Every structure is written in structure tokens, then in C-alpha cells.
Amino acid sequence: MIREELARLFTLGERHRRLLARLLIALGLSIMVFAVGTVLIWVFETGQKGGDIHGLGDAAFFCSVQLLSVSSSMTNPLTTAGKIIDVGLEAWAIFVITAVAGSFATFFSTGDNS
């Protein structure tokens, strides 16, 4: 009896698989955006006078902060390309947050039957 209950508890139904797939897609795409953004910020912002990006680690920190909190204690990007990348990172963060919230809302309110 306990085995059946544990098996039922840890078995994912179709609804759960769809939610998990949506979350994994958002995570995978966010990792790709993070990697590309890090490299681009590093290329365009390294060595700029008055900037805080001095290496790949600084670029990775900047991108992670932008994606996780849409703010940073570092100075804003100095180049036009860096500013465009920064706005893109912030837009992506807002999009992912709303998409994930919408996925959870759909899952809990309608049972994700569509």
C-alpha cells in the first residue's frame, strides 16, 4: 500500500509533464541568452574607460544580475551595443517571469486541459 502511494506521488501526469516542459524550455533558453549576453557584453564593454567590465567574470556577473533582478550595482554599459544588449536582457527577464507565472496560473486554475 505504501509503495503504491509513493509511486502515485512521484508519477508525473500529462498536466505535470507539460508544465515541466514549459519550465525547462524557459530555463534552457534563459541559459542560452545568459551565455550569449555574457560574451557580447564582454566583447563590447571590456576596456571601456569608466566601465566596470574588466573580464569575462565581470560580464557574467553583470548578465546574471540583469536576468535575475533587472537591476545592477555596476555602472550602466557605456557603448551603444552594450546598452542594446542590456535592454534585451531586461526584456528577456520580464518576458520569462511573466511566461512562467502564466504557466503556473494556467496549471492551477484550469488544470492545463488545453
76 against 41, higher pLDDT? 41
Position 71 scores a pLDDT of 67
Q: What is the distance between the alpha carbons of residues 96 and 70, in angstroms, rounded to a whole number?
A: 12
Q: Any residues with CB less than 8 A from the CB of 56 and at least 6 apart, and which?
A: 38, 42
Position 6 scores a pLDDT of 66
Q: What is the distance between the alpha carbons of residues 59 and 9, in angstroms, rounded to a whole number?
A: 42
- Per CATH, is 19-110 categorized as 1.10.287.70? yes
Identity at 97, one-letter amino acid code: I
Q: Which of 26-30, 36-40, 65-69, 93-97 has the highest mean pLDDT?
A: 36-40
Query: Does the global pTM surpass 0.75?
Result: yes
Q: What is the distance between the alpha carbons of residues 96 and 112, in angstroms, rounded to a whole number?
A: 19
Task: Kindly report the length of the chain.
Answer: 114
- What's the rounded mean pLDDT across residues 80-105? 91
